Copies of this chain bind each other. A is one copy, B any other.
C-alpha cells in the first residue's frame, strides 16, 4: 500500500483540473494532455488512476453530485413532510426553493463547485452522447422527486404540463448559471453575485412559471 496522501494528491489534482476544464471547454473539448498539464501530472496518470477518460468523467460527476443531491433530496422531502403534517399541499415555490437554494449555496461555498455547476449546464449539449447519458443517470432520480413533489403541489395541472415546465425550469436555471460565467457586461454584473442574490433573481421567475 502506498502513502495515502500522495495518491490522493494525484487523483485529486486530476479531478480538480478536470472539473475546471470540463466547465470551461466541456468534456469533449478537453484533451487529456492539457488536463494532465494543468494538474501537473503525467499524461498516463489518468488511465492509471481512473482507467479511461470516460471513467474520469464519471468520477468527476459522482464526487460532487452525490452530496449535493443528498442535501437537495432532504430539503425537498422536508417541505413535503411539513405540508403533510399541516394537512395541506406543499407550495411550488417552497419546493423550488428547496432545490435551488442548496444548489446555489453549494456553488458558492464548496471548492470547485462553481465550475461543476457550470459543467452541468454545458453537459446537456455535449457532442459526446455518453456525457448526457452519464449525467442523466445521476440527475434522473432527483428530477423524478421534483416531479412527484410538483404533482402534489399543483394537482390541477396535468403530468405532461408539469413535466415540461420542470424542463423549462432546468433549462432556464442551468443555461443562466452556465453563461453567466461568459458574460462580463460592465453594468450588468452577476458573475460575483452571492447565493442569496441569485436565488432572489431566479426563484421568482421559475416559481411564477411553474404556477402560471
Please give the residue numbers on chain A whose beta carbons come within 8 Å of chain B beta carbons, in ascending order.
Answer: 25-26, 28-30, 121-128, 132, 159-161, 163-165, 167-176, 178-180, 182, 187-188, 190, 201-202, 204-212
Task: Decide if the interface of chain A is mainly helix, strand, loop or mixed.
Answer: helix
A171, B125: Cα distance in complex, Å: 12
Contact assessment for A169 and B172 in the assembled complex, using a CB-CB cutoff below 8 Å = yes
Contact assessment for B161 and A170 in the assembled complex, using a CB-CB cutoff below 8 Å = no
Contact assessment for A175 and B179 in the assembled complex, using a CB-CB cutoff below 8 Å = no
A132, B164: Cα distance in complex, Å: 26
Known contacts A163-B188, A171-B175, A190-B164: does B205 contact A127 (CB below 8 Å)? no
Contact assessment for B171 and A132 in the assembled complex, using a CB-CB cutoff below 8 Å = no
Specify which chain B residues have a CB less than 8 angstroms from the CB of A128 in the assembled complex.
29
